[in-house]
Amino acid sequence: MKHISKILVIVFISASTFISAQTGMDKIKSLKIAFITERLSLTSDEAAVFWPVYNEHEAAIEQLRRRERMEIRNRLQNFQNMSDQEIQSLMDEFLTLENERNNRNMAFLRKMNTIISARKTFLLIKAEDDFKKRLLQQIQKRRQ
């Protein structure tokens, strides 16, 4: 009985930690959407075309980040014990992922340039950078 209650407590704590992390990520995503919308001053017609393309791109880039974490970063924890051949193989995989990320980003920017003006496309790039900076500043303030 004691083991069952310990397991239930661990499961409950893990679930609540996961839920609060997801809630935090959802909040950040909502703030980012509002930030970008304000910065770009999208018309309703532009927004109707912009957001599906933007969300699709974000999902693809997130998938690449996950692949990088799983396929590259996790294996780097054992870096000191890896052979030169294993490290070279890892580097090749990393370069392939970076190339894929670059190709996706370029295709996304080309597509954005047809959906919204070049000016708004540059505003998007700047807005994303500004949002990241603000988010990092907020995180640093909370840690202090």
pLDDT in tens, 78-120: 888 889 998 899 899 999 999 999 999 999 999 999 999 999 9
Q: How many domains does the chain have?
A: 1
**DSSP helix/strand/coil, 15:** helix
Residue 74, classed as helix, strand or coil, is helix
- Contact indicator for 71, 93 with CB cutoff of 8 Å: yes
How far apart are alpha carbons 41 and 123 in whole angstroms?
A: 10
Q: Which amino acid is at 26?
A: D
Q: Which range marks the domain in which residue 121 is found?
A: 2-143
Report pLDDT digits (tens) over 34-71. Answer: 899 999 998 888 889 999 999 999 999 999 999 998 88
Tell me the backbone φ, ψ of residue 38, rounded to 5 degrees. -65, -45
